[in-house]
Structure 1
């Protein structure tokens, strides 16, 4: 059965539950059959249904119940698109944090401060990549008033993708350092990778926070009309 993202959002709003791991299936959830180097979620689609999943989203032919199977070109992209669609239903502003060091500490501190006044939801653990960010967004309760989201990356264009998925209202880059240098290849590319968050916000007329004492981050901020 092939459906568009609008249908998938409608189904998600019935339970607010998704899963990518059959060991953690909850009744009524939507199971996304993701693939990795050592696993293929499509092989576990029927198991997910047997354990109570309402729907399975697959990107390969399976022998599952066709009435509960949603066929897509790419299950990961479907998960990311659902996260964006759900994010657009939320009234809470999203603050996205990235940087070489201090992302998690900054996220925790900021969520504590905001939590004193607002119903605040923050990234749990280190769910900050192309899978973790969508799962985090889909975990945000509808009545949340503020969201603090951690974005992690070790290659160019990853922050750009995470920003497109989460559509943040505010952005903060902690610093530019040597972490993940192997993936980025150079300190210049580390700076470019982090700056993808600022460029997204600039393009969409959003807001940034930054530390003036970090030369690389301050240079990025000069592109904003009122940094």
Structure 2
């Protein structure tokens, strides 16, 4: 079947789905394969559950007039997404970076939706499957699309850009994330910069934080729109005021009081303000959008539980984000307890990076430090305020967290550690 013909069938459907448990009437089912499943075997179930068509790539499952046989389901999904993107011609804002992608994406969406009908990446569905699904969720009503792109190796952002074909792009930062896949920090910079390369080659607009030296240097000869915590040579000036307890900044003589903790979130807020101004969103609407955005999904959430205030930042972690979170946490008042979980995908740097974070935590004015995970368990500790546990189960068995009261607690670790489970242990 030709791609244009498949797109015509797609337009007859209500949505794209890859999980039979979530099928709704008149969905288009893509039978993707994983390490432990073959989506082809679920095609019949998808149709019986209401799917209008099922895209498959194994002949033996082509048993219905509603099944469509292709050479490769994943490749077809990606090609259809690119075709649909060109069919709509909707302006696309793409973003990537080591830290803060999802928060920044949510802020941008919140700001732009004050003026436009937007469609944005749901959660962090930002990979070779998530980006196509985001594009295919856009309709003719979508005025601006906001696409988050994640990567853990070189050439991935480059590939995602060929699918989404962004008109605008922003890189949050270059940090110590996915070092194993990228081969070190220089690899991270090179990999994330693939977005710059695409935008520059196609003469598109790059949003640049001039306070980031790497961003500034790499985009000097590009079509860029800049911002910074300064009034010098920027298109948009946004002044940082403080982050106690939440980030407050000044823009267009307006004081904006966010509900985001940590001065590291200033740049995320500033990027959303800048993109809002670029797209001519009213300044008061920008202020309202930022001030009413409340973080969710274990990202910089503030939770009051009994007598304890919890900073739940357990969605993910890498050395850069962990370092920033600890420095911000030290500024909190009262008794402070840091519960830190292992950081994943660091490769040969894992031992060094975990020791560095352990050293930093122990050097700060934090009353108690709890390190959880195999990597943190191997670090050398030098203060009695630090305890180590090889696993989450060891932590639950060896530490009576129910005795913790009247404390501010930071919970941060990589997704695989699932440290949000700690909440159920607190009184």
- TM-score, normalised by the number of residues in structure 1: 0.94
> How many angstroms does 1:225 deviate by?
5.6
Q: Map 1:96-107 onto structure 2 (within 5 A).
A: 96-107=94-105
Q: Map 1:185-204 onto structure 2 (within 5 A).
A: 185-204=183-202
Work out whether residues 170 and 206 of structure 2, in 8 Å CA contact, stay in contact via their aligned partners in 1.
yes
The CA RMSD measured in Å over matched residues stands at 1.5
| 1:172 alignment counterpart | 170
If you compute each CA radius of gyration, which structure gives the higher value, 1 or 2?
A: 2
> How many angstroms does 1:7 deviate by?
1.1
| 1:24 alignment counterpart | 22
- Which runs of no fewer than 5 residues in structure 1 stay unpaired? none
Q: Count the aligned residue pairs.
A: 225
| 1:120 alignment counterpart | 118
> How many angstroms does 1:66 deviate by?
4.0
Work out whether residues 118 and 144 of structure 2, in 8 Å CA contact, stay in contact via their aligned partners in 1.
yes
Distance in 2 separating the partners of 1:131 and 1:19: 11
Distance in 1 separating the partners of 2:61 and 2:137: 29
Work out whether residues 182 and 188 of structure 2, in 8 Å CA contact, stay in contact via their aligned partners in 1.
yes
Say which SS state the counterpart of residue 193 (structure 2) adopts. helix
- Report Cα offsets for 1:154-186 as digits up to 9, x if no partner: 111111111111111000011100011122111
> How many angstroms does 1:119 deviate by?
1.4
> How many angstroms does 1:192 deviate by?
0.9
Distance in 1 separating the partners of 2:194 and 2:14: 30
Match of 1:157 among 148, 155, 158: 155
Match of 2:11 among 13, 28, 37: 13
Q: Does 1:144 align with 2:142?
A: yes
| 2:52 alignment counterpart | 54
Say which SS state the counterpart of residue 11 (structure 2) adopts. helix
Work out whether residues 20 and 32 of structure 1, in 8 Å CA contact, stay in contact via their aligned partners in 2.
yes
Say which SS state the counterpart of residue 205 (structure 1) adopts. coil
Higher relative contact order (CA 8 A, sep 6+): 1
Distance in 1 separating the partners of 2:22 and 2:184: 39
Distance in 1 separating the partners of 2:224 and 2:142: 29
Work out whether residues 151 and 162 of structure 1, in 8 Å CA contact, stay in contact via their aligned partners in 2.
yes
Work out whether residues 123 and 136 of structure 1, in 8 Å CA contact, stay in contact via their aligned partners in 2.
yes
- Which runs of no fewer than 5 residues in structure 2 stay unpaired? 226-427
Say which SS state the counterpart of residue 147 (structure 1) adopts. strand
Match of 2:42 among 41, 44, 65: 44
- TM-score, normalised by the number of residues in structure 2: 0.51
> How many angstroms does 1:89 deviate by?
2.2
Distance in 1 separating the partners of 2:124 and 2:223: 33
Work out whether residues 206 and 223 of structure 2, in 8 Å CA contact, stay in contact via their aligned partners in 1.
no
